[in-house]
Amino acid sequence: MGKNNSMRPSNGVWLILDSLSYNSTPFASDGPDSMPRFQTLAEDEGVIFSEAYAPGPFSPSSHASFFTGELPSTTGMYEAYPFFNSDIPTIADFLSETHRTSLISVNHFLFQGLERGFDYVNDIGRTYMHFQNASDPKDYSKKYNSDPRLKRFVDFLRDDGKPFKSVVNGLKYRFGEKNIKPKEWGDERDFQYADTMGEMILDQLSSHKDDSFVVANFMDLHGPFDVSDEALNKFFSDTDRSEIPLGVVPRRDKLRGEKSYDPAKMYNLYKAAIWDLDRKFTSLVKDLIDNDIFVAVCADHGWYDTNSAYSDERLHIPVVLFSPEEENRRISHTVSLRQLPRTTAEVLLGDGGEFNGPSLLKTESDQVAVSEVVHKPNEIYEKTKRVYVNRPSQGAEPNEIQRDLVLFKGDAKVQFVDGSCDVIRGDSTIADELIEQGQNILDSPINYPDGDQIMYDERTEDRLKHLGYLS
């Protein structure tokens, strides 16, 4: 495709492949052949970043951070409190005056305050919302469960000024089909919705042809996995099907020797799921870029069935950008996913706003990439050092919270974990720079939540347990 150097794209799309590690893709020097179609497309038409890092190892911290360009501790949304109620502008807030904005996912944490600023919001796990602009019965069941039942019902009907539409939503939630099924392999409990989400993305763009911005988070790589026979033949040609952990929830609360499955086979199954996603996903990306749409493909964090939240498998992620104004190339400088909102704002509007920079597309040297974990240690962390996402209603107090940092620049990596500072690798001069910057961050305040604590309803809690966020 020839590049259009005279026209700024009017439409933009973020395609977030939840839990995709850089080293699990063919972009890594010794990476597997897990995304052959997307690799070819990216090398032909994209800008590939080989040293990009996530701002957090989990959905709450990472999404809040790269939606705003700020660290998780600044946004107030992190593993100790996975709810966004800050007045910090998000990318949707910034673009809402010029673009029609849409958010599509089944990832629960994107609908815990981060949906603010989007004109259209579709939580695929909430298909009962026949009228998106009316009251959501699930919100009322979890946020206002301390109110008397009659008061809650009256408020539910009149809150959005659309009582009839709210009643329809309520009836569908109570009696209707609450999930939609994907079209091919996998089922609704495995969250593999790539085909369905692709159709939704194209529908949003076709309904609003100019000045649209869509964020879509794909959960196909967040186990449990059910993959196609073709993928099994490719990645398990010599393994009996009974030995493959199909449909098994990866366990982060157990040490490797305690798991009911072979971690190596689970990782191989993960690569098979990537290969399946590639077959569904790449045609969507090709369709978007052929229509001169700015497309950002990234991950919020990497593979999570690892021995540490601070490993490269969790924090080193793929980022590929496609824009009509950009030639295909590879950028090997260290960058942070926190630079994505500024990049998007500059591409679509020519104005980076107040977002942190520089733009990814203007990177000329190694940046300092910071990953931050603000969490409440529990017995699982003490045993495995695996961080867990708390329920917001648990209300961690400041003295219960642990703040950890991982900083990257060039070949250097420095960790601040549980009060200790360790140089993991790299040149001592750069490491000293990272130590100084890390200490400055640790000396800065954490934004603690205020107001009422939210609660998870039964279906949400079941979903998060199935995804491995809750024990």
pLDDT band (50, 70, 90) for residue 469: low
Q: Which amino acid is present at 385?
A: K
- Binned at pLDDT 50, 70 and 90, residue 235 comes out as very high
Gap between the terminal Cα atoms of the chain: 48
Residue type, 380: I
Residue 290 domain-assigned?
A: yes
How many domains would you assign to the chain?
A: 1
Tens digits of residue pLDDT in 9-56: 999 999 999 999 999 999 999 999 999 999 999 999 999 999 999 999
Q: How far apart are CA 118 and CA 458, in angstroms?
A: 26
In a domain, 198, yes or no: yes
pLDDT > 80? residue 411 = yes
Worst-scoring range by mean pLDDT, 135-139, 247-251, 252-256, 435-439? 135-139
Q: Is residue 302 part of a domain?
A: yes
Q: What is the pLDDT of residue 180?
A: 40
Let me know if residue 441 belongs to a domain.
Answer: no
Residue 100 resides in a domain: yes
The C-alpha torsion from 74 through 79 and 83 to 88, rounded to 10°, is 10
Q: Is 105 a domain residue?
A: yes
pLDDT tens string 338-364? 999 999 999 999 999 899 889 999 999
CATH at residue 332: 3.40.720.10
Q: Is residue 308 part of a domain?
A: yes
Phi, psi (deg, nearest 5) at residue 139 = -60, -40
Residue 122's domain spans which residues?
A: 12-127+177-365
Contacts of 450 (CB under 8 A, 6+ apart): 85
Alpha helix ranges (H) inside 182-262: 194-207, 229-235
| Contact yes or no for 317/35 (Cβ under 8 A) | no
**Cβ burial, residue 429 (10 Å; 0-12/13-18/19+):** exposed
Whether residue 205 lies inside any domain: the answer is yes
More confident site: 461 or 99 = 99
User: 105-109, 325-329, 352-356: lowest mean pLDDT where?
Assistant: 105-109
Q: Which residue has the higher pLDDT, 186 or 368?
A: 368
pTM reported for the whole predicted model: 0.85
Specify the pLDDT at position 179.
42
